[in-house]
Chain A
């Protein structure tokens, strides 16, 4: 190991992390060439492949520091978008079935299911992200202000996306996907930081909409293509890693540059994807409530990525240093004063969105000064059991019944697979959010309780 491994966890969360191979993976990541400070693990850490889910690692650019597609993940720029609204819980429940029916119609989901297939729009999206989607008639210009990277990753090169990736995922723009992807309707259950909540546009009792998805098959194939390429290139660069999924090359190598350009283009797909889905969600709510998008005030609170590598400047031994910061199942969480934040949030800190499982809570936190992990925080609740174990525990029908008995409307892509995403398969998200705060990663702002979910 070139650096130590540092896990941010309570005793209970650490005990869970030690049950699978997540901690071995923290140690493996610490072997990456050019890694600085530590191989970090967020409170929701669990077993991944190569990097643990919840892993953060930064490498020094130009000092042998590497970029590893495994430190980003196959679902490049998977992330979460949160919308506020003018509705309260009673208003949602009065129109619930119509809203859910409209979401069912307007939110494509499932494996391989596509929405928009225009190649011309796709090329523009790969170059300009959410800006291209806006110009194509989706969403609102204000959405760009409240999106990480303003909805457009710099350095994107559409030509770096392979034809295979285009064929696989090009027709999937504007779709949720499957697995643990979702669109959830929530109510602000509790405010812990009133000034931050007000700055974010949140109030107790307000209905919110959270969308979790990424770059679909286009991103998956891009990562696959580049992992294969890097696996072959590593020997030329004299690099060995303890896990082939940690395949990597120097950031400033041709292969590294090619990957970052393709990653950024894939990220642009994801920003646009969530931008378009938010547009459709607004339309669904307007139709379901027989109101208008303007009257519903469904403004974007924020959109964060949790699978991305970024070139950022951080101080290493008091020296500003360009780093390639990998966040794999970890969210950027910049504190107050950071110039990357929108002007109206700069004094407060960046919103950090941490979805829990179906049936439990989600959290909004804010970035804080002095974050010990290159401005990073948790991204979710983290799994505690395999999908197979989850299916053996309860059937999808039983999980659906329990959720509906708890007042949560469910529109699954597959009833059978609901059990894989059941609350008992995940860590306690309240504990994850609390540990983020105790560890100085991010501070809790608001707790969100689910009212309805559209599952991929």
Chain B
């Protein structure tokens, strides 16, 4: 089962993820990013769906998170459950979402995904991911 842990960062925030597969790690990181902001989101009614080309894992992690963050803020959405599926030459991301008016901000508002200390790699039989966010 994928899990994420919050990183203690002085000015910003971040998380680490452990998951059995790369798609699960990407999905856990995406869910974790929104949980840092909104806590558990019972997202209903809206969906965010997009496909990204295959990249080296760290760049893929960045692209998944940055794309979700942009789409969510552009449409005033908070994201709950996320799934990532391999497709031809890339990955399909499907996220359940809800308007931000239906949720409360419980953590720092994330402005951007940073490249600082960005990691996404196989480690000790799992996939490990680490990302710092600008708040």
The chain A residues found within 8 Å of chain B, CB to CB, are: 20, 22, 46-50, 53, 73-75, 110-112, 164, 167-168, 177-179, 217, 220-221, 223-224, 227-228, 231, 243-245, 247, 383-389, 413-414, 416-417, 420
Contacts and interface: CB of A to CB of B under 8 A. Distances in A.
A224 B110 CA distance: 13
A304 B73 CA distance: 27
B108 A224 contact: no
B71 to A, nearest CB: 9
Given A111-B109, A383-B10, A387-B108, 12 more contacts: A22-B10, A47-B11, A49-B116, A49-B134, A53-B11, A110-B105, A167-B74, A223-B112, A243-B116, A244-B115, A389-B8, A416-B105
B29 interface: no
A73 B6 CA distance: 22
Contact of B112 (A74, A243, A389): A74
Interface of B: 6, 8-13, 37, 66, 70, 73-74, 76, 100, 104-109, 111-118, 132, 134-135
27 contacts: A22-B10, A47-B10, A48-B11, A49-B116, A49-B132, A49-B134, A74-B112, A74-B134, A111-B105, A167-B74, A168-B73, A178-B109, A179-B108, A220-B134, A221-B70, A224-B66, A224-B112, A224-B113, A244-B115, A244-B116, A245-B116, A386-B13, A387-B135, A388-B8, A414-B105, A416-B104, A417-B106
A247 B115 CA distance: 9
A417 B108 contact: yes
Contacts, number: 99
Nearest to B105: A414
A383 B10 CA distance: 6
A48 B12 contact: yes
Contacts of B6: 388
A49 to B, nearest CB: 3
Contact of A50 (B74, B76, B113, B114): B114
Contacts of B114: 49-50, 245
Contacts of A110: 105
A112 B76 CA distance: 7
Contacts of A227: 115
A178 B134 CA distance: 12
Given A74-B112, A220-B112, A414-B105, A47 B9 contact: yes
Contacts of B106: 414, 416-417
B15 to A, nearest CB: 11
Contacts of B134: 49, 73-75, 220
A217 B108 contact: no
Contacts of A416: 104-106
Contact of A387 (B13, B70, B117, B132): B13
Contacts of B37: 111
A179 B135 contact: yes
B18 to A, nearest CB: 19
Contacts of A22: 10
A74 B111 contact: yes
Contacts of A53: 11
B105 A231 contact: no
A179 B117 CA distance: 22
Residue from the set A49, A75, A178 with the largest chain B CB neighbour count within 10 Å: A49
B12 A46 contact: no
A224 to B, nearest CB: 5
B11 A50 contact: no
Residue from the set A48, A50, A110, A413 with the largest chain B CB neighbour count within 10 Å: A48
Nearest to B72: A112
A231 B112 contact: no
Contact of B108 (A46, A223, A420): A420
Nearest to A48: B11
Residue from the set B66, B76, B116 with the largest chain A CB neighbour count within 10 Å: B116
Contacts of B105: 110-111, 178, 413-414, 416-417
A20 B10 CA distance: 8
B7 to A, nearest CB: 8
A46 B12 CA distance: 11
B11 A383 contact: yes
A223 B114 CA distance: 10
B35 to A, nearest CB: 13
A49 B118 CA distance: 11
Nearest to B108: A387
A336 B116 CA distance: 38
Residue from the set B11, B70, B135 with the largest chain A CB neighbour count within 10 Å: B11
A217 B74 CA distance: 9
Contacts of B10: 20, 22, 46-47, 383-386
